[in-house]
């Protein structure tokens, strides 16, 4: 069964073909980052229009790369939320058209569940129970996954997402949008202990908070006009990594889960990929990351998630499927 995946929830347009839920035949991604860079963040209306322009050739490209024809596509999966409503509408409308024209099942997929499926694509042998850490530009959540398709959110950020905290900090120090990858590079040349910054809520519970860290950086910058950017980036990133690491270890202990799947755009971060598995190993925890191209938004994870939905429910969604910008992660 070949599933066509479509992703347009934010500023990546992507189309992919995944066979039997695990084999990626193609995964074409177009990033709109350059379009939005001049505004310092995603402009929803521009994003919608660009998705509309990019999606049809991306889908054709995904079929061509996979080396298959339309008649070999058995279902179409699309991100139905959470995300920006205009961009979501473009993808969902397109997928409905495909479903109707080809008479194949339509699968509306939760974007956060799709991120978790990056773990399944990368490590098919790693079966639940799992603890998922979803760290992206819009979301930061700890999720208990007793089995694929079942999710229980056990902790979330109370304010900014981890990626948002990095992007907002990047804007403060003039790194452009999105700043996460630049901070990653600069931090590698800096001292993570050069500047003392807070680790909000690190001592308590499973919820997280990153807004206070950003405010601390604002005050630090006000009082220190001269600084080495590499050291500041490394110190700021270290605070984010420390908080995520502590929360993962606490959640794994409380839930008695031995394996952790880290997914979402921030899971591409080099420092997080080094520090978290190392500290967790000391406690007997196994922490796995997907390859970086499956961390950031892409349609292969949507297709994999949609395939699982189809197999477990035996049917697709109706053509009345509505995108939902605030769609919650539920079973």
| Interface ranges with Zn ion (CB under 5 A) | 136, 297
Burial 280-296 (b: 16+ CB within 10 A, else e): beeeebebbbbeeebbb
Closest CA to 139 of 156, 127, 123, 152: 156
Closer residue to Zn ion in complex, CB, 73/166: 166
Q: Work out how close the CB of 266 gets to ligand KG4 at its nearest, in angstroms, rounded to a whole number.
A: 4
Strands annotated E in 146-239: 152-156
Residue 238 contacts which entry, ligand KG4, Zn ion, none (Cβ below 5-8 A, type-dependent): none
Give the torsion sign (CA, 300, 303, 307, 309): positive
Integer Cα distance of 4 and 26 in angstroms: 10
Residue 166 contacts which entry, ligand KG4, Zn ion, none (Cβ below 5-8 A, type-dependent): ligand KG4
Closest CA to 111 of 302, 244, 281: 302
Closer residue to Zn ion in complex, CB, 50/231: 50
Q: Work out how close the CB of 260 gets to Zn ion at its nearest, in angstroms, rounded to a whole number.
A: 18
Q: For the packed helices 270-281 and 229-255, what is the interaxial angle rounded to 10 degrees?
A: 40
Integer Cα distance of 250 and 245 in angstroms: 9
Closer residue to ligand KG4 in complex, CB, 105/265: 265
Q: Work out how close the CB of 312 gets to ligand KG4 at its nearest, in angstroms, rounded to a whole number.
A: 24
Residue 160 contacts which entry, Zn ion, ligand KG4, none (Cβ below 5-8 A, type-dependent): none
Name the site residues for ligand KG4 (rule: CB under 6 A).
10, 136-138, 163, 166-167, 178-181, 184, 264-266, 268-269, 296-297
Nearest residue to ligand KG4 by CB is 265
Integer Cα distance of 218 and 196 in angstroms: 13
Structure token pair of residue 87: 């961009």
Q: Work out how close the CB of 238 gets to ligand KG4 at its nearest, in angstroms, rounded to a whole number.
A: 13
Q: Work out how close the CB of 29 gets to Zn ion at its nearest, in angstroms, rounded to a whole number.
A: 12
Closer residue to ligand KG4 in complex, CB, 63/118: 118
126 CA to centre of own chain = 19
Closer residue to ligand KG4 in complex, CB, 104/261: 261
Q: Work out how close the CB of 226 gets to ligand KG4 at its nearest, in angstroms, rounded to a whole number.
A: 26
Residue 213 contacts which entry, Zn ion, ligand KG4, none (Cβ below 5-8 A, type-dependent): none
């Amino acid at each position: 069964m070949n599933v066509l995946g479509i992703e347009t929830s934010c500023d990546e347009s992507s189309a992919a073909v995944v066979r039997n839920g695990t084999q990626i035949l193609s995964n074409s991604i177009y990033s709109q980052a350059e379009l939005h860079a001049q505004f310092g963040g995603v402009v929803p209306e521009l994003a919608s229009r660009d998705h509309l322009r990019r999606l049809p050739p991306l889908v054709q490209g995904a079929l061509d790369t996979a080396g298959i024809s339309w008649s070999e596509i058995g279902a179409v999966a699309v991100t139905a939320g959470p995300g920006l409503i205009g961009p979501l509408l473009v993808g969902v409308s397109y997928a409905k058209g495909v479903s109707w024209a080809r008479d194949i099942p339509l699968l509306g997929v939760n974007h956060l569940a799709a991120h978790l499926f990056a773990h399944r694509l990368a490590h098919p042998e790693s079966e639940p129970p799992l603890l998922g850490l979803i760290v992206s530009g819009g979301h930061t959540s700890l999720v208990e996954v007793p089995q694929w398709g079942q999710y229980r959110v056990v902790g979330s950020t109370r304010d900014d997402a981890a990626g948002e905290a990095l992007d907002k900090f990047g804007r403060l120090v003039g790194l452009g949008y999105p700043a996460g990858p630049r901070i990653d590079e600069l931090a590698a040349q800096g001292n993570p202990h050069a500047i003392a910054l807070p680790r909000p809520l690190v001592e308590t519970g499973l919820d997280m908070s990153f807004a206070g860290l950003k405010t601390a950086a604002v005050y630090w910058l006000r009082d220190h006009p001269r600084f080495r950017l590499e050291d500041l980036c490394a110190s700021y990133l270290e605070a984010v990594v420390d908080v995520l690491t502590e929360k993962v270890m606490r959640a794994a202990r409380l839930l008695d889960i031995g394996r952790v799947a880290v997914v979402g755009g921030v899971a591409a971060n080099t420092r997080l990929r080094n520090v978290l598995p190392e500290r967790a190993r000391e406690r007997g925890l196994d922490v796995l990351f997907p390859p970086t191209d499956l961390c950031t938004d892409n349609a292969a994870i949507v297709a994999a998630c949609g395939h699982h939905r189809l197999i477990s429910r035996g049917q697709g969604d109706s053509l009345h499927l509505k995108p939902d910008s605030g769609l919650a992660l539920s079973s």
